[in-house]
Each structure stands twice: as structure tokens, then as C-alpha cells.
Chains A and B, each alone.
Chain A
Amino acid sequence: MMEHVPLNFPFLAAALLVGISFYILIFKRNLIKLIMGIGMLASGVNLFLVALGYRTGGNAPIYTDVPEGPMVLPVPQALTLTSIVINVAVLALMLTMVILIYRHTGNIDSKKSRILKG
């Protein structure tokens, strides 16, 4: 079944995720939906990075009890791990700020809770 899937399927999926997340960031007004959009952008970029390292028929890049054959590249997996950690910190910070904005202004619609203008 795997032979019928085209080889750049992961890249198409990453591009779709990034596209949907830009649509959310531009057109949605609810602050929690904005944060979900940023999470989706992060998932798209992480998928792109991991898919860069794939080699056909490769195994996981660890030496403990590995079967014979080629291995996928390990460096993009390290980059993706660092990116996931950074995004956890950023999402935690954004969610805390939304809690504080709700406490000050009472709603989380970005048009109604704006104070800074001009």
C-alpha cells in the first residue's frame, strides 16, 4: 500500500498545515483560536524538518538492537526536538497572557478587548 503514496506526501501535508494556519492567523478574532493557529504552524514546520531527513527504507538512527539497512538522518530530529521545546515555552507564555487579558477586560475577542490604538 505504501508504494501508491507519492514520495513527497509529507511535504504536501506540511504545506497544507502551514497554509491553514496562516488563514487562521489572518481571519480569526478569538484569541484562543489564534493560539491554536500558532500551534498548527509549529506542527507544520516540525513535520517539514523531520521529513527532510527521510531516506527510503531507513531505520531509526540509534545503534541499540538496530536491524540491517540504511538509517535516516539524525540531525533534523535534533532540530525538531529543540523546536518543540521552544514552542512549549511560547505556548505556555501566550496562554498565561490570555488568562490575564480575560481577567482585565472580560472577553477574549480581539476586536473588543483592544486598548492600544493609533
Chain B
Amino acid sequence: MLSKIVRTVANQLILFILIFGLYVIVHGHLTPGGGFQGGAVIVSGVVMLLVAFNSQELKKSLRERTLSIMESSGALIFIGLAFAGIGIVFFYNFLVGTPIFGRIPVTGPNPGDIWTGGVIPLMNLAVGLKVVAGLSAVVLAMALFSSGEEIEE
């Protein structure tokens, strides 16, 4: 547990890091970024909290059961979106042309339009959810290991 100044600043900064990470995830089909990159940004915020507070304190907020359910649902949403186009082919982009994310972009250089891309932004969100849950569980487990206790079933 570090001093009061560090804890207060960390509490305020985590909000900005979360927003920046979500921006990188959602705009994955327009600017460099996407599911894994945005998820890694959010996990670096979690690591900042882990350094500022104790790992025992953080274990009360990020319970192992919640992280496990989040991780499994992220993966299942991703494969479910891929299965939804199985009428034609697996991974078929069935949302192109429909009102949900389905506008066709103009060819050539353009200021990006967020409602394009079809199934890709939704898959980015699912991957981002899975990466956040998975990597924070890894980081939390290593911190708890080093201080001498384990996460049981």
C-alpha cells in the first residue's frame, strides 16, 4: 500500500485510462487498434491500481468468479457471432447492409464513419472483454502467488 497521494491520483486516473482503452477498442475498424490493443491498455490501468493498493485489497473488488464468467462469455459471444452466419459460411459478415453497423463506406481516403464494418466492431468488443478479464486474472494471480497465497477453486 503506497502513500495517500499515490492512492488518490490512481483512483482518479483509472477513469481516464478506461475511457482511452474503450476508445481504442471501439474504433478498431477505423484507426490502429482493436480488441487486444484496447484490452491491454485497460489492463495496464489495473496494474497501476495493483501497485498503488495491496493485492489483498484488489482481490475484494475483482473476484475470481466474476472474471471467469466475463472471460467465458467474451469467448462465447465471439464464436456465437461467427456461427450466426452459418447459413452461408462460418464467419460470414451478415450485418453488411442492415441498420446495425451496416453502412457501406466510400472507397479511397475518407474521414472514418463508425457505423460501418458489419460484424467486426461487435467482435472487437467481445475480444476486448475477454482480454481484460484474462490478463487481469493473470496479473492478480501472480501478485497473490508472490505474497504467499493461492486462488483455490
User: Which A residues lie at the B interface, using CB under 8 A?
Assistant: 60, 62-68, 81, 85, 88, 92, 95-96, 99
Contacts and interface: CB of A to CB of B under 8 A. Distances in A.
A62 B145 contact: no
Contact of A62 (B32, B36, B138): B32
Contact of B145 (A63, A81, A92, A99): A99
Interface stretch (B3-11, B64-72, B108-116, B118-126): B108-116
A99 B143 CA distance: 11
A64 B31 contact: yes
Contacts of B32: 60, 62
Contacts of B51: none
Contacts of A81: 36
B30 interface: yes
B109 A63 contact: yes
Interface string B128-153: 00000001001001100110000000
29 contacts: A60-B32, A62-B30, A62-B32, A63-B105, A63-B108, A63-B109, A63-B110, A63-B112, A64-B30, A64-B31, A64-B109, A64-B110, A64-B111, A64-B112, A65-B109, A65-B110, A65-B111, A65-B112, A66-B109, A67-B109, A68-B109, A81-B36, A88-B135, A92-B138, A95-B142, A96-B142, A99-B142, A99-B145, A99-B146
Interface residues of B, number: 16
Interface of B: 30-32, 36, 105, 108-112, 135, 138, 141-142, 145-146
A84 to B, nearest CB: 8
Contacts of B146: 99
Contacts of B138: 92
Nearest to B139: A92
A76 to B, nearest CB: 14
A8 B105 CA distance: 37
